[in-house]
Amino acid sequence: MQKNCPICGDKIIGRADKKFCSDYCRNSHNNQLNKDSKNLIRNINNLLRKNYRILEELNPKEKTKTTKTKLIAKGFDFQHFTSIYVTKTGNTYYFVYDQGYLPLENEFYALVKRNS
């Protein structure tokens, strides 16, 4: 009994339980199955990378102050960060990996870098 590849339609030669004619078709099939979840992860990673670069650019000396306007102008997305740190005094720092920010009064932000 002859089986055909579900991706390209070519004849499958080899083991009886083989599903695809080549590694290319097998990879194409698996990429199609995982496309949606990979796109979500890729998009979130791109947003985190962009936020990290913005914080790194605005905070070259590991501790500084900036405005919300500057962050937004550079395309910073406040909804994407990797962790939250709450101090004993109740201040909430938001981190993108080792670069963090603390909301202050009058739309100012303290930028910090966490030492490993």
Q: Which segments of the chain have a pLDDT < 50?
A: none
- The three state secondary structure string of 34-53 is HHHHHHHHHHHHHHHHHHHH
Q: Tally DSSP H helices, then E strands, for the chain.
A: 2, 5
Q: What is the pLDDT of residues 51-78, one digit of tens each?
A: 999 999 999 998 999 999 999 999 999 9
Which pLDDT belongs to residue 95?
A: 97
Is residue 81 classed exposed, middle or buried when 0-12, 13-18 and 19+ CB atoms within 10 A define those classes? buried
Which pLDDT belongs to residue 116?
A: 63
pTM beyond cutoff 0.75: no
